[in-house]
Chain A
Amino acid sequence: MEKSNDLYWIQCIKAGDSSAFSHIVSAYQKMVFNIILRIVSHREDAEDITQEVFVKVFRSLSNFKEESEFSTWLYRIAYNTTLSELRKKKMMVFSFEDNFSDSGDEDIHDETGDISTEERIQYLEQSIKMLNSEDALIITLFYMNDQTIEQISSITKLTAANVKVKLYRIRKKLAIEINKLIEK
């Protein structure tokens, strides 16, 4: 969706036309829903959290400064709301103790080409669910939503260097988990 379109609808909502919000929802619901769906196991939970995200976006629209990028602002709300909702629902996955620091550079085995697409997706989804919620959100934003490191830094309020380090560690964790699943 074009940035100018977003701004047009935002101005309509700010002027009192709440039905214009449906255009914002249509533009972003699929992406927000899919990011959340990668972290929670059930569609219903993902839909609940997605709804909560959009209600919060609607409530906070008056605080949105139009000089910043709307999508980054929306994803920041999505990121924070998802983490707090998972905490509330006690679905937050806390980081399992990682022993990856001494495992060297890990890459996904080349055998991934030999397995079916369904299996590859299944392995990836299983591995994402083993990550802690924050890491799962970061990697999903980076790969699925094509957010840049700077944008992720703005969404998560982490420094760009920190995001880079986190991404490196998450990729390593994922590679190890996927390899384990392939070997099985």
Chain B
Amino acid sequence: MNTPETKDKLKNMFCEIKMENPSADFMKELMLRIEKETAAKKKRQYFLTLSLILTGILSIILISGSIIYFLKIEITTIKFPNIYFILRNIFKDFSIDPKITGLGLIILLLLSGDLILRKFISHKKDMI
């Protein structure tokens, strides 16, 4: 039996084969596919995270809803603290101008909205 250690004509013949390179576009095409794979993976990850968050929120609502339903708790029997009263006591020493406070709140809301939109757009760009 021919062993690889002994003089092996086949080995010599294999050594004579010239190694060829794949075409010039091979690497470019492959890396494009890899980029697409990465984008698809990120997209899958994004939707997985989103669905996990939604599932979490839904389960919180469902669990609390079923507790309220099965234990026959009436919402009207739960007494929430009087927030207006608390706030009035806290801020009684401050003189708050409702116009300025309202304007500030609107600016804060607009900035938050802008931030969320920018994040959403940049995430979409990453996925493309």
Contact = CB atoms under 8 A, between A and B. Distances in A.
B1 interface: yes
A140 B19 CA distance: 12
B23 A51 contact: no
A140 B11 CA distance: 10
A130 interface: no
Interface stretch (A63-71, A82-90, A117-125): A117-125
B30 interface: yes
A37 interface: yes
B38 A33 contact: no
Give the interface residue-count category, chain B. Answer: 20 to 34
B25 to A, nearest CB: 9
Interface string B18-32: 111111001101110
Contact of B19 (A34, A105, A108, A174): A34
Main secondary structure of the interface of A (DSSP, over half): helix
A142 B4 contact: yes
Interface centre among B2, B17, B26 (most CB of A within 10 A): B17
Contacts of B30: 25, 51, 54-55
Contact of A112 (B13, B22, B34): B13
B10 A143 contact: yes
Give the interface residue-count category, chain A. Answer: 35 or more
Given A55-B34, A112-B9, A105 B16 contact: no
Interface in A3-22: 18-19, 21-22
B114 interface: no
A105 B29 CA distance: 47
Contact of B10 (A22, A37, A46, A174): A174
Given A30-B19, A51-B26, A143 B14 contact: yes
A29 B22 contact: yes
B26 A168 contact: no
A26 B2 CA distance: 34
A129 interface: no
Contacts of A174: 10
Interface in A88-139: 105, 107-108, 112, 117, 120-121, 124-125
A178 B26 CA distance: 33
A21 B37 CA distance: 12
B16 A58 contact: no
Interface of B: 1-2, 4, 9-11, 13-14, 16-23, 26-27, 29-31, 33-35, 37-38
Interface of A: 18-19, 21-22, 25-26, 29-31, 33-34, 37-38, 43, 46-47, 50-51, 54-55, 58-59, 105, 107-108, 112, 117, 120-121, 124-125, 140, 142-144, 168, 171, 174-175, 178
